[in-house]
Structure 1
Amino acid sequence: MGNSSSAPKVSAQDRAILDMKIQRDKLQQYQKRITVITDRETAIAKECLRAGDKKRALLALRRKKYQESLLSKTDAQLAQLEVLTSDVEFALVQKDVVYGLQQGTKVLKEIHREMGGVENVEKLMGESEEAQAYQREISEMLAGRMSNQDEDEVEDELEALEAEVSGVKLPDAPSQELEGQQPTLAETAKERARRRAREQEEEEGEGEGRQMVPA
């Protein structure tokens, strides 16, 4: 008699659902691990502020915000894929699902690389040549990868930490803005954008200067 008990075929939809679940599990693992890293980045920012090193404190908070944003965006994308993979008309969206899963794999690898370990976080405070090279690398990598909203939220967090470190209580927001005395939100955003652009230009200038110095 022939072999009538052949293994059941796995459909493309079944494979997509499995891949999606694997990505979801990895993301949940990263979400648990990243708390330790982001807590340390916040602590480093405070230590830098106490030492008067605002630039390095900002770098620690920007790195933290970027990691949190990656996780949040990936979580939202996986939620959308979960809906698509369970669609009864899966054949119509199969290409979109496959592409989404491929992109999700790339992002998860990036998250894994960016998280690194606590030892990398400690380099944010280091003074050695290796540590400073790592700080420049992180700063250059973050440039252009964070939205203006993310940058503004980092600025707000930095101001809150400065107040906490110095023991100064931040004033309550005025119930009625006085004309000519309080900057508008648009003006504040523009001012921050200009300052960030200046800082980026200075960093690029420093990088070019280092490259021109003979060994």
Structure 2
Amino acid sequence: MGNTSSRVTAQDKAILDLKLQRDKLHQYQRRISVLTERETAAARQLLAAGDRRRALLALRRKKYQESLLAKTDDQLAQLEQLTRSVEFALIQKDVLFGLRQGTRVLREIHAEMGGLDHVEKLMGETADAIAYQKEVSEMLGGRMTNQDEDEVEDELAALEQEVNGPAAAAAADALPSVPDTKLPEPRAAEQQRQRQEPEPERTAVLAS
């Protein structure tokens, strides 16, 4: 209960008081309506009994009650209008509070974005970057001339030489050198060579 009552604001209490006064006026109107009906019934009975003077007095009391009833109608209309105005004012207050909070959040976001100048600059840089990328894509997509292709190929070959040259040289230095020794001749080749050479003794006899 304590927590509930602590959440009731002065505005809520004011609206509640207005509604309580409205309910009391409604109860008062019901009582007056009952009285006017009674006065009407009493005047009818008095006339039936031949007492015109007292019947006229009952109708006068009824007329007075009806005037009070008309006054309560005006008061009820004012209370209803005031209650609606207060309730609408509270709604407006909540709306204004929400607008104030939203405006504060928007300002914080704009501050984080760096302001309008920064956004325009960023958008311009983004547009330039997109345009440059589009230009490059179009050029690479088939708008290059044969000379451009040759230049690109030459540049690629130079880069490959620059990147792979030191590695290829290092790999060549790491390989073993080819031996320079003469391999033994086959046996058949050796026999053929011996047949072609003259025997030493026969050569000496022919010479004497």
- TM-score, normalised via structure 2 length: 0.34
**TM-score, structure 1 as length reference:** 0.33
More helix by share: 2
- Larger radius of gyration, structure 1 or 2? 2
Higher relative contact order (CA 8 A, sep 6+): 1
